Chains A and B, each alone.
Chain A
Amino acid sequence: MDMPAPNAVVLARKDRIVERLRAVLPADAVISAEAELRVYECDALTAYRCAPLAAVLPRTTAEVAAVLKVCHAEGVPVVPRGSGTSLAGGAMPTADAVILGVARMTGVLEVDYPNRFIRVQTGRTNLAVTGAVEADGFFYAPDPSSQLACAIAGNIAMNSGGAHCLKYGVTTNNLLGVTLVQMDGTVVELGGPFMDAGGIDLLGVICGSEGQLGVVTEATLRILPKPEGARPVLIAFDSSEVAGACVSDIIKAGVLPVAIEFMDRPCIEACEAFAKAGYPMTEALLIVEVEGSEAEIAAQLELIGEIARRHAPVEFREARSEDEAKRIWLGRKSAFGAMGQINDYMCLDGTIPVSELPRVLRGIGTLSREFGLDVANVFHAGDGNMHPLILFNANTPGDLERCEALGAEILKLCVEVGGCLTGEHGVGIEKRDLMGVQYAPDDLEAQMQVKDVFDPGWLLNPAKVFPLAASAGRRAG
């Protein structure tokens, strides 16, 4: 993975830059000692590491603005960081960059039930947003699987999704407003506790811009009343294609489950060995979850059962108790941990049209054999968001490279069938150099022109999202 060479002028000025940062922040908010900077050398994409020049942990929007003004004046790249759970290297620094972490900005600023929103500082974790309102019967819908740790700042940067976005949408559909600090320190309010933009939808382009357009310090989020209840059902099939067809039929039938999760045999076996959830050993499993009152759940499950039986399932297991519901989810929720126990793995998140599921699963199987690496599939089937997990051994020389090459081929396949490179993890550095597969040079140029407007000096998270060759003329240094 290439990263641009650090700016020697910036490196040489480290002491002065740190001194200026200390002048605008409390003493404990600036980190510059080498050993302490280790923490910030990577995010959840651990294969690539580089310690930053310094890290800052401001507590307020004003402090963020002050930091950015200093960095802007000094020509220092800034890499914003939420909780560091990005799987795409979105928060990975370069040696000349200052990490701007929002981890200390965790406050709840306003809760408004009649108007159904919450305003928080963006260092607050996803789950802690729900935590602030659940006693009153509300929740924040996007639920990335890292929700215990991941920050709202990162959710907004990557437009995060989750298992339940089939019904509730992703971050952009639940984000009402932000306080954004631009690279030059200008503070902008976009949106608020009302619907839709009065002009061009700038909020819409901020969400998912991977920390390249500004630092989001506060967010107004839509909260929803909790459903009365929810229940999953497990449906097993002896072929992935049949499972795929069943997904399509459920969606068409007009019942909109909150989640439809899919696991293939390699994944089922690994999860079963790890979590012992009692899954049937078969080619494909679906977990379908519906919400509502008891009667509503029963009505929806009856319809889903009817559809599933047309596809001759090996098993149709309805949870009859809270405990059985937990067991159905247990294997799925431990999928990544189970994989981690077997081997190192790389998790992709290409998205495809649901109707292409059988073809893509076959294609992945073929590629897996060609490259000699196992691939397990677990994903959000309802919206076509795949999560192929490529297993490799990081200690075997050449394995990581082979794994990345296989990953690239799988993502190309996703694009070829009408899908995209990433459904919810973001591009970061991981998929940066594949952007040309999905977008023509003009398409990328149009996106980079947006960054030109928000950050003309290209100092914010500059070496991400766009192929380095494409952004070279714009990046400083």
Chain B
Amino acid sequence: MRPETEDEIAAALRDATGPLVLRGGGTRALGAASGTVLETGGLSGVTLYDPGALTLVARAGTRLAELEALLASEGQRLAFEVPDLRGVLGRQGDSTLGGVIATNASGPRRVQAGAARDFLLGVRFVDGTGRIVKNGGRVMKNVTGYDLVKLLAGSHGTLGVLTEVSLKVLPAPAAQATLVLEGLDDAQAVAAMAQALGSPFDVTGAAHWPGRGTFLRVEGLAAQVAYRAGRLQALLGGQIAPDGPWAEIRDVAPFHDQPGDVWRLSAKPSDAPGLVVRAGAEAVLYDWGGGLVWLRMAQGTDLRARLGRFQGHATLVRGTGWPVFHPEPAPVAALTAGLRAQFDPRGILNHGLMG
């Protein structure tokens, strides 16, 4: 099915007789929900772009590339730095806005600027009963009623089909620089990144790529960037480069065309090196100062069993055999199940994907 309007999506959901698999561009969905495919790519187009108010509203099926080009024409961007997961997942196709939001897809700048969910101002969606719901709006501050916007961000299509999304966008900075530290082990790298992120120099990327280096990014006006990079260098040593491998880190490039399962671990940064030791991974990549760790594991390894209890969660991004999402404690799982029963009482939306 490829509906072209919100009403058509509502009708498709009302009339559905079995499970549906939601699909934007098919570039970043996790797991393997089964059912009839409902594509959202037909629901496309920018409905409002107000650069002076830093606001963009677009239909959920709009291609990400189209939005990025439009924003670039005004010197603006999506600050949460959307990862391209095609390489790591072995997919083709064009990423859509709805998929970005439904997966809360956020790259290296998340550590400073926030995640996709932090830039999401409003949504329209169709829930599992075919009901059209609006929440939030297109203004920067909005506490009018409950924040269903946050519920929908990262819900992986289990609460509803996004039809329109309203985002805060930001000006792209005039300049950037990357401080490169070499020869640090994982623990030293996480400590160095903590020092940088705890400094007033507004670090917008902090990643550690074992074997290649530890990278710290600053962005802003040219004078700011030169000053901050210099101060960071005085603090931590290393070399200042005009750019760093941020796109590769964002897209988990070191794992492209490599065998094995891929896990994504969100943890307290200072715990990360210890967790990595416990994991016994074949390769790792640290982002967000260590708050995010990508792990490449031998196929079929149960990472969660190896890690035991820790503060955070592990998502199985590529591979099978284990639940994609981290099992929740019983009272939390009960709340999640309760919400899904309200918004999708027949359990037809990406059934079996989450919980």
**Which A residues lie at the B interface, using CB under 8 A?**
112-116, 137-138, 158-159, 161, 165-166, 169-170, 172-173, 182, 186-190, 192-205, 207-209, 225-228, 248-249, 251-256, 292-293, 295-296, 299-300, 303, 351-355, 380, 382-385, 418-427, 431, 435, 438-440, 442-444, 446-447, 449-454, 465
Q: Are B142 and A351 in contact (CB under 8 A)?
A: yes
List the B side residues contacting A228 at CB < 8 Å.
Answer: 200
B86 at the interface (CB under 8 A from A): no
Flag whether B251 is at the interface (Cβ < 8 A).
Answer: no
B346 within 8 A of A: no
B223 lies within 8 A of A295 (CB): yes
- Pull 21 A–B residue pairs with CB atoms less than 8 Å apart, ordered by A: A169-B114, A169-B118, A189-B329, A196-B106, A196-B110, A199-B332, A200-B154, A201-B117, A201-B153, A207-B147, A209-B146, A253-B171, A292-B224, A353-B138, A418-B139, A439-B134, A439-B144, A442-B131, A442-B133, A453-B338, A453-B341
Asked if residues B151 and A200 are in contact (CB atoms below 8 Å), the reply is yes
Residues of B137-184 at the interface with A, using a CB-CB cut-off of 8 Å, are: 137-151, 153-155, 158-159, 170-174
Shortest Cβ gap from A291 to chain B (Å): 8
- Contact check, A446 vs B343: say whether CB atoms are below 8 A apart: yes
Bound complex: CA A254 to CA B338 (Å) = 43
Establish whether residues B291 and A351, one from each chain, have CB atoms under 8 Å apart when the complex forms. Answer: no
Residues of chain A within 8 A of B141, CB atoms compared: 161, 165, 170, 351, 380, 383-385, 423-424
B214, chain A: closest CB distance, angstroms:
15
| Chain A residues with CB under 8 A of B140 | 166, 351, 382-385, 423
Complex alpha-carbon distance, A249 and B171, angstroms: 12
- 6 more A-B contacts (CB under 8 A) besides A200-B154, A200-B159? A137-B198, A194-B291, A208-B147, A384-B139, A419-B139, A439-B144
Q: How far is the CA of A118 from the CA of B313 in the complex (A)?
A: 20
B315 in the interface (beta carbon within 8 A): yes
Are the C-beta atoms of A418 and B137 separated by less than 8 Å? yes
| B292 to A, closest residue via Cβ | A195
CA distance A165 to B114 in the complex (A): 13
Pairwise interchain contact B270-A450, C-beta atoms closer than 8 A: no
Cβ 8 A contact of B331, one of A172, A188, A383, A443: A188
CB of B300 closer than 8 Å to a CB of A: no
Cβ of B53 within 8 Å of any chain A Cβ, yes or no, is yes
CA A202 – CA B331 in complex, angstroms?
Answer: 12
8 Å CB contact of B191 from A114, A197, A255: A114
Please choose the segment from B18-26, B37-45, B242-250, B261-269 that sits at the chain A interface, where 4 or more of its residues have CB less than 8 A away: B261-269
Give min CB distance, A353 to chain B, whole Å: 4
CB-CB < 8 A to B149: which residues of A? 204
* CB < 8 Å neighbour of A351 from B139, B171, B199, B341: B139
B151 and A205 contact, CB distance less than 8 A: yes
Which of B118, B148, B155, B198 contacts A114, CB < 8 Å? B198
Chain B residues lying within 8 Å of A443, measured Cβ to Cβ, are: 133-135, 145
Docked-complex contact A208 and B143, CB < 8 angstroms = yes
How far is B335's CA from A452's CA once the two chains are assembled, in angstroms? Answer: 10
Contacting pair A299 B221 (CB below 8 A): yes
Contact with A along B275-315 (1 / 0, CB 8 A): 00000000000001001100000000000000000011111
Contact of A199 among B173, B267, B269, B328 (CB under 8 A): B328
Chain B residue nearest to A434 (CB atoms) is B144
A446-B159 Cα distance, complex, nearest whole Å? 11
Q: Which residues of B contact A186 (CB under 8 A)?
A: 331
Which 8 pairs, one residue from A and one from B, show the smallest C-beta to C-beta distance? A204-B150, A198-B313, A423-B141, A254-B171, A383-B140, A248-B52, A453-B338, A194-B312
B118 touches A173 (CB 8 A): yes
Q: Which residues of A contact B292 (CB under 8 A)?
A: 195
Residue in B131, B223, B267 with the greatest tally of chain A CB atoms within 10 Å: B223
Kindly state the separation between the CA atoms of A438 and B145 in the bound complex, as whole angstroms. Answer: 10
The answer to whether A113 and B198 touch (CB under 8 A), given A195-B291, A208-B143, A427-B145, is yes
Q: Which secondary structure dominates chain B's binding surface? A: mixed
CB-based nearest A residue for B342: A449
Q: Are A195 and B147 in contact (CB under 8 A)?
A: no
Docked complex Cα distance between A201 and B152 (Å)? 8
Asked whether, in the complex, the Cβ of A172 is within 8 Å of the Cβ of B139, the reply is no
Assess whether B318 is interfacial by the CB under 8 Å rule.
no
How many interface contacts (CB-CB < 8 Å) are there between A and B? Answer: 274
Q: Output the nearest chain B residue to A173 by Cβ-Cβ distance.
A: B118
Whole-angstrom distance between the Cβ of A404 and the nearest chain B Cβ = 18
The complex places the Cα of A159 from the Cα of B142 at a distance, in Å, of 9
> Cβ of A208 and Cβ of B104 under 8 Å apart?
no
Residues A439 and B143 in contact in the complex (CB < 8 Å), given A196-B266, A251-B54, A254-B174? no
Q: For window 184-213 of chain B, which residues contact chain A by CB distance below 8 Å?
A: 191, 194, 197-200
Taking each of A173, A203, A248, A446, which has the highest tally of chain B beta carbons within 10 Å of its own beta carbon?
A446
* In the complex, chain A residues whose CB is within 8 Å of the CB of B194: 113-116
User: What CA separation (Å) do A218 and B197 show in the bound complex?
Assistant: 25
Question: Per-position contact with A for B333-347: 1 when CB-CB < 8 Å, else 0?
Answer: 001101111110000
- Asked if A198 contacts B151 (CB within 8 A), the reply is no
Across the interface, do A446 and B268 meet the contact criterion of CB distance under 8 Å? no
Given A115-B268, A254-B171, are A195 and B144 also a contact pair (CB < 8 Å)?
no
Tell me if A115 and B200 are in contact (CB < 8 A).
Answer: no
**CB of A228, distance to nearest CB on chain B (Å):** 5
Residues of A within 8 Å of B170, CB to CB, are 256
B97 CB within 8 Å of chain A: no
Complex interface: chain B residues within 8 A of A192 (CB): 268, 311-312
Residue among A196, A300, A451 making CB contact with B154, cutoff 8 Å: A196
Task: Chain B residues near A113: list those with CB within 8 A.
Answer: 194, 198
Report the Cα distance A198→B155, complex, angstroms: 10
Distance (whole angstroms) from the CB of B182 to the closest CB of chain A:
22
B145 with A173: CB separation less than 8 A: no
Q: How far is the CA of A443 from the CA of B343 in the complex (A)?
A: 12
Q: Evaluate whether A423 and B143 lie within 8 angstroms (CB atoms) in the complex, with A205-B148, A453-B335 already known.
A: yes
Closest to A228 in B: B200
Residues of A within 8 A of B133 (CB): 442-443, 446
Given the complex of chains A and B, what is the CA–CA distance between A418 and B74 in angstroms?
22
Chain B residues with CB below 8 A from A419, complex form: 137, 139
B127 interface contact, C-beta 8 A = yes
A355 contacts B338, CB within 8 Å? no
Task: Decide if A256 touches B171 in the complex (CB within 8 Å).
Answer: yes
- When chains A and B are docked, how far (Å) is the Cα of A209 from the Cα of B138? 19
When A165-B141, A355-B52, A465-B145 are in contact, do A114 and B270 touch as well, CB less than 8 Å? yes
Of B55, B144, B343, which one neighbours A422 at CB under 8 angstroms? Answer: B144
B50 adjacent to chain A (CB < 8 Å): yes
Closest to A356 in B: B53
Q: How far is the CA of A355 from the CA of B50 in the complex (A)?
A: 8
Alpha-carbon separation in the docked complex, A280 to B313 (Å): 55
CB-nearest residue of chain B to A454:
B335
Q: Given A208-B146, A254-B173, is A196 in contact with B268 using a C-beta cutoff of 8 Å?
A: no
